[in-house]
Each structure stands twice: as C-alpha cells, then as structure tokens.
Structure 1
Amino acid sequence: MNLSRPDLEADGWAFALELYARPGVADACLKLQNEASVDVMMLLMVAFAAVRHRILLTSAELRELDEACRPWREQIVWPLRAIRSELKIGPLPAPNNETEQFRSKVKAVELAAEQLQNQLLAERLPLRPPERNAVGPEELRSVLCNVASLFLERRGGKPVADPLSSINEIVDAATRDAR
C-alpha cells in the first residue's frame, strides 16, 4: 500500500464526514454512541479500512486501536461532549441565545478533538496489502459488530437497545455505491 500516514488521515476524515452525512447514518451513529457507548470515530475508521482499503481488522487490532485512543476519548472528547450536551438544558444561564452560541463553539472544539482522534487512529491503523477484492456487506457488518462488542463488554454486555439495526444502517450506507 503506497499511502502515507497524512494521506490516510485525510482520507479517513473525509470518508467519516461523507459517510456520517448520508441519510440515517448520523442517527445510527448517535444511537450506538448514546445507547451502547460505541466510539463513533473508531467505528468510522474501521469502516474506512474495510471499505476503502479492503482490510478487515482483527479483534486484537481493534483492541490496540481502542487502547491507543481511549485516554484521548475519555479525558478529552467525552468531557467536551458532556459540556455541550449539558448546555442544552442548563445550568443557568443556559439555555438561552448566548449559551447556544457558546454551545456551538464547544461543538466545534469537540469536532476538532474528534479530528485529532482520527489522526491518532490513522497513525495506528495497520497498513497491509488489501485482503480481498472488495469487502461485502456481511464482512463489514461483522467487523462493525466486533467494534460494538468491544464497547458493550465494558458496559457489562447490556446495551440499552439492540445495536444491530444501527450497524445495518451504517453498512447499507457505506456499501451502497459498491453494489
């Protein structure tokens, strides 16, 4: 594979933004994030490796990626997200027009933190020759379920809702052009 790490980072970020913007994907990602504690940035990077580079990451590789970005996610991304979410309802003086502008700034910083996480993931993404001609929906579904399982294990395996419907939505959107 003749792709530099900066190219991989840029391509991974572009892929994540493009996929996230497709109908139904944002809602599916947020459901996985909110109900199963799935790291959406990691999920999108794993989908990128599969769809664009035809590499299905192993469980061990998924755990390595998770361990690489876990401190950043837990110490930076999640606290920013919590602040942004809290500003929707309070404390005083929130919510009002001024705090909504502030919330928008926090949202931009949260997105920048996710972009830095994308960089971290791209730096650690295993680079190897493609494993197959194309990754089909079933293979993509399997690797994304492995990502969700990694996070569900931390929750004691008790999702609030079944993550498979959300994963199916993402798989359908990611493989739509390949069909």
Structure 2
Amino acid sequence: MNAEEVWTFTVEMYGRDGVASLCLELQESCGLDVNMLLFMFCLGQNGLAPYSISALENAVRNWREQVIVPLRSARRFLRNVDRDDAQKLRGKVKNDELSAERIEQKLLCDAVETIPANDPFAPAHAYLSPTRFNLSQSECDQALYLLCTRMGLIKKAG
C-alpha cells in the first residue's frame, strides 16, 4: 500500500460530514483505533483485505500506546487550561498527534500483507466486530452502515 494514498483517503473520509464524530464516539466507547478502521476501509476500496488484522494491530500497538495515546491525553488536558500559552501548546500537540497518526499509517502500510477481497467493506467489517470490541453485532453493523453512508461509499436505504 502507498502511504500517501492511504493518508489522502483517510483525510478525505474523516473530513466528510459526521464521520469524525462517529469515529471518535467509537474510539471513546470501545477503544477502536480510528486509523486502523480507516486503513481497513482504504484496503477494501482497493479490492484488498489484510491477511491478518491481529498482525497489523501488533505492528502498531507500541506506537499507539507510547506515542499517540499520550499525545491525545495531553491535548485533551490542555483543552481546559485557561491560558493563551497553554492553548498555543495544545495546537502544537494536536499537530504532533496528527503527525504520529500519519506515522502509524506508514507502519500499517509497511506491515500489511494483503489478499484479494471481493467485498469492499469486508476489511472494515472484520475489524469492527464484537470479537475485537465490547459491542454487539447489531451495534457493529449499524456503525459500519452509518460510516459507509457518511463516507459516501453506499447510498442510504429508503
């Protein structure tokens, strides 16, 4: 996978109306890795699936836990600090968090072994599942459907 193409896809999809809020809700409620989910969507839209999602999770776990999560935590803490200099720092930390997420995507691109996928949503469906997250199958299916419609990858039924 080309890391630049993946990043472009991620930024485009994340920026679509309602996608970021749903992704962040899933991140907060069940620990979903938004980068991983968007990577799965990108693979599927390119007719590919990962040979092993677990291998990909292992490839980025330390980076996410040691770099991204602490940066996110610092940014969130700074949100409520009522000082101009703290808000300037928060902006820098936000930029660093985005840079770290971009590196995570490069790690995913380096680590992924792909197989052909006939279903463009299969990788995202396999990642967003009750076996990985504390969600029911219907909650996973509903979130996947909402993401697909908000991304413009499928048309709303009805």
Question: 4+ runs of 1 displaced by more than 4 Å?
Answer: none
**Is contact 1:36-1:151 (8 Å) kept?**
no
Letter in 2 for 1:168: Y
Cross-structure match for 1:144: 124
Q: CA deviation at 1:36?
A: 1.0
**Is contact 1:87-1:103 (8 Å) kept?**
yes
Q: CA RMSD of the aligned region, Å?
A: 2.2
Q: CA deviation at 1:98?
A: 1.9
Distance, in Å, in 2 between the alignment partners of 1:99 and 1:85 is: 11
Distance, in Å, in 1 between the alignment partners of 2:49 and 2:11 is: 20
- Per-residue CA deviation, residues 52-103 of structure 1 (Å, 9 max, x unaligned), is x211335xx11000000000000100000000011112xxxx2222211110
Distance, in Å, in 2 between the alignment partners of 1:97 and 1:163 is: 40
Cross-structure match for 1:119: 106
> What is the TM-score normalised by the length of structure 1?
0.75
Q: State percent identity of aligned pairs.
A: 27
Distance, in Å, in 2 between the alignment partners of 1:174 and 1:73 is: 28
Aligned residues: 151
- Say whether 1:84 aligns with 2:75: yes
1:166 to 132, 143, 148: 143
Structure 2 gap segments, 5+ residues each: none
> What is the TM-score normalised by the length of structure 2?
0.84
What secondary structure is seen at the aligned counterpart in 1 of 2:49?
A: coil
